[in-house]
Structure 1
């Protein structure tokens, strides 16, 4: 019922939001003398803050149309090359110069944790000059009819295996945050089956492999409540007239409330600063705020079964590091992983996946040779900085690309090493 009330509230506010937007444009119109005054800019700023605060944010676009390869600008075409009800595989196809060599194929496994895959736009953009990039574009559960069936953690793993088999041998998989666990499980299943399409390398970034290590506030919350609490308090049915009507989900707006409550003071200050940037006519700062929050506030629903199984297996039972994780009733043996290079990346100030949680993958995969494993801790970054931002572009991207080239036939393998604080 709460989801229905949320939708009703949006519908009731819609006329006021439209009116606020109309008046905002009127006060911003350069033909209006008030637009050149402090009063006019203050009214326009207040109206925009109201409109943006009450808006439903749709899925953003990747909007990546070109990149630079070898000092030359080349065009990029976004293509869906594989599709299932809950996921599309997007290929960012580059039109390369004729003499350009073969770059590593990198599959970004985007998190299914509330935000759309476009959250990794900066990740894709940073990798495009060096690699042939693909990404899993997960579908909002509220947009998938109930007739398409369930989608849980087992299905997530099945999708990954299907994608690897579709792409063929030699793929370099990069799991960002949440998918680190199902990616590691999928690779374990493929190694157990001697699947020739198993990825060449597996990079896990800020992932909750073992949340018992250096637990964060998020981990402690999951531990403090029984699974029934999550089922009773956060699971709701998609309201009419959405395509997924009556599908049980963990709604995006609830997830967003949780995200924002962790740093509520920071978001309130950001809104205040946004208002004053507009009043002072600081267009660049205001535009940066819009760009960030257009992405941050765009959230998607998760299927109830996927969310509850993830909470239970990853955060409550710790099934993977305990050696009790099962896929379709079959125990996943991570010790069977021997042929896949393993790179783990963590952020020194990560408050979502604490330092050591991702590194735990090395301890549960003892079969990987030392020369095919590497761990890195990036200094002075939080969770978001592990896969985006200046330090990611400067330090982490070259490492991912070099690791992929080294272990997918492109060049001699690197020596095993552990890097902490951004220094070898």
Structure 2
């Protein structure tokens, strides 16, 4: 049967982070005054999708009611996908070194690689079964998912495209996500990824709580990522009685089930548990205007908190174009050792602290308490720079997945992908001894 949908454009969005939305693709499809009437409008099925425990405090409770042509239970039993293996974070010896990957390969022209096949795990920690931890993935794909949908039983995906547009059809509507935009697909939501050609990017998966906006504290009511700039899709549905495969990621393993109809048959929905996207260009930077640096936490877009106040399982941090105006300050990121693990990626441009070797589509990992910072040429240049106001990172978008957990590598990222740069450590070897025992402060100091 040919696809049928509402007369609304599938690419309309509703603004606002975490709002309670109500959207329908056919008039009066949402029941009035109750969630599950004896007979729903249009003879639809009512189905609740719960993202938190029923008894979670109201301020934290997330759920949506879906009104669909068939309930999602209508499928055959799940069977393990051949070759799918759960990540074992103890499979390799720990590696505390500074690590950098060259751009990850795109699929060859004669290979058809979709989202399910093209998602590769770089590192991670924790346990999906205990619902605490995270994984960092990269994807490199060139083919749309055909009559296939996926959902993640283990956690939420935060997707960062680096090359190529993704068109993501979800049960709650359609998201079009371009490089320099991100999207979040929460636990349990079925989705299918379509591409126009070779596409590559990064994925942060969290197993515990959901992503939320960071608290602003003394910053006040405005700044960083503003809630109004997040976009959630409007209801859109199709009516296709055709075979579909449903992929479930469950306890780190992929399983497949069959059904004879599309999973994207939600005619209306209301609630606050829904996928969303955000344009990184809308981030309102808070920065230093006198001297020294504020901590990089001022660049946090989204956070997934742990049970310890102020400590995150994962933060998504960006380093966007901005002005640098500090006086008497070494302006690039300072040398540091951190009680967090830092995976960095580059969407486009040249990162200000690594002008050579750190390339779009690649990545780096600086593990807990492993020292890192600017390379030698960056240090020398910044130490001698005229400290007038300058633009930083124009045409560049770097980001960081930061975690309080100590991350382990997969065999693919350390040995099989052949992208790990064995010469990364050399970028600091040119840092020479500048110590002068006879130094005296200048008259102006």
Question: Shared fold (TM-score greater than 0.5)?
Answer: no
The TM-score bracket by the shorter chain reads: under 0.3
The structure that is strand-richer by fraction is 2
Could you say which structure has the greater relative contact order, defined with CA pairs below 8 angstroms and 6 or more residues apart? Answer: 2
- Scaled by the length of structure 1, the TM-score of the pair is 0.21
- Scaled by the length of structure 2, the TM-score of the pair is 0.21
